[in-house]
Structures are given as structure tokens and as C-alpha cells.
Amino acid sequence: MFEKLRLSLSIFIFMQYPIKAVIFDLDGVIINSNPAIEAFWKSWADRENILLSRAQVREWIHGRKIVDTLQGIFHHSSDETREAIRASAYIFDQEMNPGPVPGVVSFIKELNQYHIPVGIATSSHHERMLHMLQQIGIADRFNDFVTAHDVTKGKPDPEPYLAMSHKLGIAPADCLVFEDAISGIQSATAAGMHSIGIGDEDARTGLLQEGARDVVPDFQSLYIEQRTLVTPGGIRFMAG
């Protein structure tokens, strides 16, 4: 019995992590854009007679730059078609009007109240990111941003999150990342950061396998208590 108690205590202690900053991806984490994004890419895949699987969506669409998606899914398409997709994707991005992921606005404001630094590391362009944040009223809630033009290598390379760590002046090991994409969790893990996945049960296994500490459907199931973020799985991130 005492051995089981010691094991339980050791697991409990292990499941607590000190952090000093929280970093967010944009699409699918702050803004609820994933359904529209998936529909856009599926329409082009259908036109090119490409059977788009859920695995491909998770690997090559969410969290990726357009050039990566084109290379990963449309590599057999003509140069003219890929250029048409690129131009169409730019217009689509500019015209999107997604709402926030449930609970994210109040969650970010609560982090602000505790004076915990927050940043965004996204594969999106800076102007689009600001436009999306302005639409949901939180453009002024972040300490800094890393967008597509700030890096030479996108996710899953660690460069975006390492660049964010450098901008915030906080060590990667002291940062907690929220990501919905496999490539984003891979990027955060490679950078040496903690991460929580945002996704449904279908995405849960893949996100955990890539290094996410826990996976939640949105921010409504998270709470902050005395500067400690607690997940539904009982994992605690203590802000120093």
C-alpha cells in the first residue's frame, strides 16, 4: 500500500511543470478557422481528384505554410494549378471571418491579469493575424508575435518557437505552447517546450504521441488557480 502511495505521489509531482510564458498558435487555437480551411483545401483536392485523408489534413494542412501544403498534397499537380491554388488561398485568407475558439478570449485575459507573458507563433502572415485578432478584440493582449515572415523554416521545424522564446526573453523550457496541429506540437517539442494540444478525440492520440502533455477540445475545460494552470487530466503548469 505504501509503495502504491509513493508511486502515486511521484507521478503527481512529475505532472507539475514550472512555466514563465504561454505561446499560442493562431488557426484552430485562437480563431475557429479549421472547418473553413479544411473545406477550402478539400474543394481543390476534389478538383484535382485527390482523396484527402484525415491524416493528410493533420499533417499537411493545419499549422503549415501554403508552400508546404502544396508540396505535400499537390505535388503531382501542374505548376499552373499550384499557382492558381496559391492565389486562391491568399484571397480566401483575406476574406475569412472566423470567431474565437470557445473560452480562449477569457483565458488570455486571465493570463494578462496574472501578468503572465503571452505570444503567438503562427504560419500566417502578420497582417492577416492582426486582422483576425482585431475581429475578436484581443489584438492588444499579446507581448509579441512570430509570423511567416519572421522565420526561414516553418513548423515542424523548431525555429518559430525558438524565435518566440528569444523575443520574449524566456528560456524554451519555461514556455507552454497551445497547438492544434501535429506539425505545431512537433515544432514546440523540438524547441524544448511544454505543449497542450487543442483537438477532438480523433486528433488526441497523434498530438500526445508527438509530445503534448494533454489534449483538450477548447479552453473551457482549463482553469487557472493562484497562477497555476490545471488541465482536465490533472496536469499543472505553475507560472513563476
Q: What is the pLDDT of residues 31-65, one digit of tens each?
A: 998 888 889 999 999 999 999 988 888 788 877 77
- Domain region containing 71: 34-95
Residue 161 lies in a domain: yes
Both 128 and 47 in a single domain?
no
Cβ-count burial 84-119 (b if 16+ within 10 Å, e if not): ebeeebeebbeebebebbebbbebbeebbeeebbbb
Whether 9 is in a domain gets the answer no
Of 43, 73, 95, the residue that ends a domain is 95
pLDDT of residue 6: 45
- Domain's final residue, options 51, 73, 95: 95
43 and 20 belong to one structural domain: no
214 in the same domain as 119: yes
Whether residue 43 sits in one domain with residue 28: no
Q: Is there a contact between 194 and 19 (Cβ–Cβ < 8 Å)?
A: yes
Of the residues 95, 114, 148, the one at which a domain ends: 95
Residue pair 59/203 in contact (Cβ under 8 Å)? The answer is no
Residue 1 within any structural domain of the chain: no
Return the pLDDT at 14. 53
Sign of CA dihedral 97, 88, 164, 127: negative
Q: What is the pLDDT of residue 169?
A: 98
Identify the CATH number of the domain in which residue 205 sits: 3.40.50.1000
Domain count, the chain: 2
For 189-201, letters b (16+ CB in 10 Å) and e give bbbebbbbbbbee
Give domain status of residue 229, yes or no. yes
Are residue 67 and residue 124 in the same domain, yes or no? Answer: no
Q: What is the pLDDT of residue 8?
A: 44
pLDDT of residue 118: 98
Handedness of CA 144, 115, 162, 136 (dihedral sign): negative
For the chain, which ranges sit under pLDDT 70? 1-14
Q: Looking at the structure, do residues 68 and 112 belong to the same domain, yes or no?
A: no
